[in-house]
A and B are shown apart, each in its own frame.
Chain A
Amino acid sequence: MNRFAELLDRLAYEPSRNNKLRLMIDYFRSTGDPERGWALAALTGALSFPHAKPSLIRSLIAERTDPVLFELSYDYVGDLSETIALMWPSAAPSSAPGFGKVQAADQELTLTRVVETLATLGKAQLPQQLARWLDALDETGRWALIKLVTGGFRVGVSARLAKAAVAALADKDVHDIEVIWPALAPPYGELFAWLEGRAERPASGDPASFRPPMLAHALDDADLAALKPEDFMAEWKWDGIRVQAVAGRLGTEPEDGKLVARLYSRTGEEISKSFPDLLDALRLPGAIDGELLIMRDGRVQSFNVLQQRLNRKTVTAKLMAEFPAHLRAYDLLAEGDEDLRERPFAERRARLERFVARLSDERIDLSPLIAFRSWKELMAARKNPAAAGAGADAAAVEGVMLKDRVALYLPGRPKGLWWKWKRDPFIIDAVLMYAQRGHGKRSSYYSDYTFGVWTQGGQGDELVPVGKAYFGFTDEELLQIDRFVRRNTIERFGPVREVLHDPDRGLVLEVAFEGLQRSSRHKSGLAMRFPRINRLRWDKPPKEADRLDRLEALIQRIEQGHLQGQIA
């Protein structure tokens, strides 16, 4: 348990994905079975202990500590599990010199013992058992145990990242693990045996496994010259989340087996639980690559609306009725047992059209193709999707996709086959107001910027913050902004600095963003989607930066679905 606790502890503080990976790889490499398997289960969210509620832990500590001291401590620490882990009275005062580990090696409390004991333990015995374990562990061990049994480590590790660490044990790709994952069960002995070359690859028993997706390259106008229009098919790039919807039959007799359906994110995380309403629609075995959208009265809703559903923890009937999930299909990767990924796109598209027709479900439809003969025509369509077939859904179009007619479905981002040609971003000139230090590698740089635009205030014009951005600039530009921030600080609030921003002195940032929505959380009443620093306008005095009115006008146009004519 202590080894696992140490791992969690390190993961919780480590900001970098790569370093998190290395910490996990080190752990999986140096820890034996079944201990590491249970750790993998814990990290991928495969363990749950329904009887261990935070209230139970709280009552345990109440029996053992002075209530005044508990309240003072909880108030200071702020996190219940952590407070309890830290103030749990341990048998040996840890500050007394000479006290080492009190437990003999063979009695050491392992994660395995915790998991195996809890699997058979009755609810009534739980409090006593937990108390005994808490007595035996140190601060970090107690913290990990409480987090483990009450659920939710919050150490910034996704199930996929944990699987990637396991894959790295044998130089495999995470997809190799994803494919067999649904057929595996904790503590994953056969998985580790395979990765260490001691056994055959476990069979993929999953009839609805994830397939690594094919991704597109961003297209610059300049790229077009080298491409021939007749080689490509085009469709809208919808502003939702890219998903893979897979259904397959269980068992040896494919015709009669029970149908299993799953929904995956682009990165292979299973998100079925969040969209039960869509799973019902997957009635035929096959694998669709598509976009998850919210559809109301036959109209695609904005990403903003989709986000309101994504942010919910529990999926209620009310939520599903208010935010009906919809799948807009781009591609067909498999039909029945047949793998279509080795077929050209044009053929897959034809198969997809028939497949969607056979499904005949209002929750699943085809992403329409855009008719064009020349790049000029496609350019016009991209500029005005409403007039080019997207109609009322034009506001949910974020550009066009170009797909080579003969392209096979290749995982990753192969060159030259698929192109995304995004709508031009919105651009404004804003003034840098606050800068915050970054994390990890950027911890010595002011790299997160809050910027504002002018509006009429009580005493004339004032800047109101409209967004925050922490990328888009080059390394060299980061150095320049960092220097500017340090030399022009007018106030400090912990890691945040307010920088000089008056009409004549300050830094104007050209900010690009993808969308705009109303927000009650921001003083300006607006929130930008995907804002980034496009350019540094050292040449421009702050007073010439944009005004809030301009954003107001833009949001009204967006709301009315008239996106033609960008504000740039």
Chain B
Amino acid sequence: MIRPEDILVRSPSGVCCKLGGFHIDPTRPVERAVITHAHSDHARAGHGAVLATQETLDLMRLRYGEAFAGSTQAMAYGESISLAGAKITLHPAGHILGSAQVAVEVDGLRVVASGDYKNAADPTCAPFELVRCDLFITEATFALPVFRHGDAHAEIEKLLHSLALFPERAHLVGAYSLGKAQRVIALLRQAGYDAPIYLHGAMEKITDYYISRGIALGELRLARGATKANLAGTITLCPPAALTDLWTRRFPDPVAAFASGWMRVRARARQQGVALPLVISDHADWDGLTATVGATGAGEIWVTHGQEDALVHWCATRGLKARPLDIVGYGDEEEIGDTEVNQSEDGAAPSRADTHDQDGNGS
């Protein structure tokens, strides 16, 4: 009888399906890669053939240029393809635009590699779809019971309240350039905020892409062109590392906000000099992870990255077989020192000059 480990195995480059001859989110260049989503730690350039959703492929192209892979193949959610008896299907992961869970079926046994996911509402991407399976591969970024993300709308209210209270100051919201920034904008629009929202130059291309996919974000402007006086009482989205950058000096007495699941922990927010932490995450929180793991019906759980110990322990107390995968190379885009900000305001290549101060190490 076929076992889950006959379908997927751990390899130095990430999870690999030997039968189908492909890797999922490999951390090194491989011949064939299935990519769950376009965040740079999961979607790397240089693979031979890449299979992903159209959005993921488009976003990779935006980032890495036309030649990011030998060939590409787009697949919509729910569509399937068979590779040497391994049937691959993509299902929405609810993490960012285009994010997918990869289901691999062989002889009626189903394995799901979920990439990064969240089961909370997000106006900028398709909602997470629960896929029943035998082996579930889960992330564990926020796998501690202290992480409960709560209601994102309440965090947006907090931001709007602060804006009303300090109308002469600029509000800078640090947010990861791909996904988080657009979600925050969409949440602001849902809350009825219809003033122009300003953007750091590094976010322009990706945000334009979201808009081209029919996601309504209202009127957006680049902070680059605005005067200090114009920026009073406005909201500007920027990469987290820009919050402590020279770039902030163009704003009147800026309030540093940061949208991330890590903002739940006070010491983390304070270390980073954040004055207005906003707990808004694109990852499942503890309740979300445990509820999802349980609901998949999987008897075996592999944990890729984050706080593996706690989730593995929780699985054990529920009689589930679980083990950490210890894959090196998956980062955490909700950290302040993220890899995205190695772009200058013009969206151009990073320089070692003063413009960018805190280089991310993709920790």
- B271 surroundings in chain A (CB, below 8 A): 494
**Contact between chains at B146 and A73 (CB < 8 Å):** yes
6 A-B interface contacts by CB (under 8 A): A69-B144, A69-B145, A72-B144, A72-B309, A86-B148, A94-B287
- A77 surroundings in chain B (CB, below 8 A): 146, 265, 267
**Contact between chains at B145 and A13 (CB < 8 Å):** no
Contacting residue for B249 out of A15, A87, A437, A444, CB 8 A: A444
Smallest CB-CB A-B distances: 7 pairs: A86-B146, A93-B287, A87-B145, A95-B288, A97-B121, A73-B146, A94-B150
**Contact between chains at A68 and B313 (CB < 8 Å):** yes
- B253 surroundings in chain A (CB, below 8 A): 441
- A93 surroundings in chain B (CB, below 8 A): 148, 287, 291
**Contact between chains at B119 and A95 (CB < 8 Å):** yes
- A97 surroundings in chain B (CB, below 8 A): 119-121
**Contact between chains at A73 and B145 (CB < 8 Å):** yes
Stretch with Cβ within 8 A of A (4 or more), from B26-34, B41-49, B50-58, B274-282: B274-282
Give bound CA distance, A19 to B168, whole Å: 12
Stretch with Cβ within 8 A of A (4 or more), from B66-74, B198-206, B223-231, B240-248: B240-248
Contacting residue for A437 out of B148, B269, B273, B354, CB 8 A: B273
**B 65-109 binary contact with A (CB < 8 Å = 1; else 0):** 000000000000000000000000000000000000000000000
Contacting residue for A13 out of B148, B275, B284, CB 8 A: B275
Contacting residue for B313 out of A65, A69, A76, A487, CB 8 A: A69
- A494 surroundings in chain B (CB, below 8 A): 271
Closest to A483 in B: B354
**Contact between chains at A79 and B266 (CB < 8 Å):** yes
**Contact between chains at A15 and B148 (CB < 8 Å):** no
Known contacts A13-B274, A69-B314, A95-B287; decide if A76 and B265 are in contact (CB<8 Å): yes
Q: Does B285 contact A (CB under 8 A)?
A: yes
**Contact between chains at A444 and B150 (CB < 8 Å):** no
- B248 surroundings in chain A (CB, below 8 A): 443-444
With contacts A19-B166, A443-B248 known, what are 16 further pairs, Cβ within 8 A?
A: A10-B162, A12-B266, A13-B270, A13-B274, A23-B165, A65-B145, A68-B310, A72-B144, A72-B309, A86-B264, A90-B148, A93-B291, A95-B148, A95-B287, A138-B150, A139-B150
- Which residues 309-363 of B have a CB within 8 angstroms of A? 309-310, 313-314, 317, 354, 357
Q: Does B13 contact A (CB under 8 A)?
A: no
- A19 surroundings in chain B (CB, below 8 A): 166
Interface centre among B166, B249, B277, B287 (most CB of A within 10 A): B287
Interface positions of B (Cβ within 8 A of A)? 119-121, 144-151, 158, 162, 165-166, 243-249, 253, 256, 264-267, 269-271, 273-277, 284-285, 287-288, 291, 307, 309-310, 313-314, 317, 354, 357
Q: Interface residue tally of chain A, by bracket?
A: 35 or more
Known contacts A13-B277, A83-B146; decide if A96 and B266 are in contact (CB<8 Å): no
- B277 surroundings in chain A (CB, below 8 A): 13
Q: Does A486 contact B (CB under 8 A)?
A: yes
**A 35-70 binary contact with B (CB < 8 Å = 1; else 0):** 000000000000000000000000000000110110
User: Min CB distance, B228 to chain A, in Å?
Assistant: 14
Give bound CA distance, A100 to B154, whole Å: 9
User: Min CB distance, B160 to chain A, in Å?
Assistant: 13
- Which residues 18-33 of A have a CB within 8 angstroms of B? 19, 22-23, 26
**Contact between chains at A73 and B249 (CB < 8 Å):** no
Contacting residue for A76 out of B119, B146, B287, CB 8 A: B146
- A437 surroundings in chain B (CB, below 8 A): 244, 273
Interface centre among B147, B269, B317 (most CB of A within 10 A): B147
Interface centre among A76, A78, A82 (most CB of B within 10 A): A76
Give bound CA distance, A419 to B149, whole Å: 57
**Contact between chains at A72 and B267 (CB < 8 Å):** no
Give bound CA distance, A473 to B245, whole Å: 21
Give bound CA distance, A139 to B146, whole Å: 9
Give bound CA distance, A437 to B244, whole Å: 8
- B313 surroundings in chain A (CB, below 8 A): 66, 68-69, 72
Contacting residue for B120 out of A95, A439, A441, A483, CB 8 A: A95
User: Min CB distance, A96 to chain B, in Å?
Assistant: 7
Contacting residue for B148 out of A65, A94, A440, CB 8 A: A94
Known contacts A95-B288, A139-B148; decide if A443 and B166 are in contact (CB<8 Å): no
User: Min CB distance, A71 to chain B, in Å?
Assistant: 10
- B120 surroundings in chain A (CB, below 8 A): 95, 97
**Contact between chains at B357 and A486 (CB < 8 Å):** yes
Give bound CA distance, A68 to B162, whole Å: 38
Closest to A6 in B: B158
- B266 surroundings in chain A (CB, below 8 A): 12, 79, 82
Contacting residue for B273 out of A23, A65, A78, A443, CB 8 A: A443
Give bound CA distance, A440 to B120, whole Å: 33
**Contact between chains at B145 and A26 (CB < 8 Å):** no
Give bound CA distance, A86 to B268, whole Å: 14
Q: Does A510 contact B (CB under 8 A)?
A: no
Interface centre among B150, B269, B284 (most CB of A within 10 A): B150
Q: Does A14 contact B (CB under 8 A)?
A: yes
- A87 surroundings in chain B (CB, below 8 A): 144-146
**Contact between chains at A139 and B121 (CB < 8 Å):** no
Give bound CA distance, A553 to B357, whole Å: 41
Give bound CA distance, A483 to B354, whole Å: 9
- B145 surroundings in chain A (CB, below 8 A): 65, 69, 73, 86-87
Closest to B272 in A: A495
**Contact between chains at B285 and A79 (CB < 8 Å):** no
**Contact between chains at A94 and B275 (CB < 8 Å):** no
Closest to B269 in A: A13
User: Min CB distance, B252 to chain A, in Å?
Assistant: 11
User: Min CB distance, B142 to chain A, in Å?
Assistant: 10
**Contact between chains at B317 and A66 (CB < 8 Å):** yes
- A83 surroundings in chain B (CB, below 8 A): 146
- B307 surroundings in chain A (CB, below 8 A): 72, 76
Known contacts A78-B267, A94-B287, A95-B287; decide if A443 and B148 are in contact (CB<8 Å): no
- B121 surroundings in chain A (CB, below 8 A): 97
Closest to B247 in A: A444
- B314 surroundings in chain A (CB, below 8 A): 66, 69
- B146 surroundings in chain A (CB, below 8 A): 73, 76-77, 83, 86-87
**Contact between chains at B310 and A72 (CB < 8 Å):** yes
**Contact between chains at B244 and A443 (CB < 8 Å):** yes
Give bound CA distance, A82 to B275, whole Å: 18
- Which residues 419-473 of A have a CB within 8 angstroms of B? 437, 439-441, 443-444
- B119 surroundings in chain A (CB, below 8 A): 95-97
User: Min CB distance, B93 to chain A, in Å?
Assistant: 15
User: Min CB distance, B191 to chain A, in Å?
Assistant: 14
- A72 surroundings in chain B (CB, below 8 A): 144, 307, 309-310, 313
Give bound CA distance, A22 to B150, whole Å: 27
- B158 surroundings in chain A (CB, below 8 A): 6
**Contact between chains at A139 and B264 (CB < 8 Å):** yes
- A444 surroundings in chain B (CB, below 8 A): 244-249, 357
**Contact between chains at B270 and A79 (CB < 8 Å):** no
**Contact between chains at B148 and A69 (CB < 8 Å):** no
User: Min CB distance, B266 to chain A, in Å?
Assistant: 6
Give bound CA distance, A302 to B286, whole Å: 55
Give bound CA distance, A66 to B266, whole Å: 23
Interface centre among A94, A97, A139, A483 (most CB of B within 10 A): A94
- A68 surroundings in chain B (CB, below 8 A): 310, 313
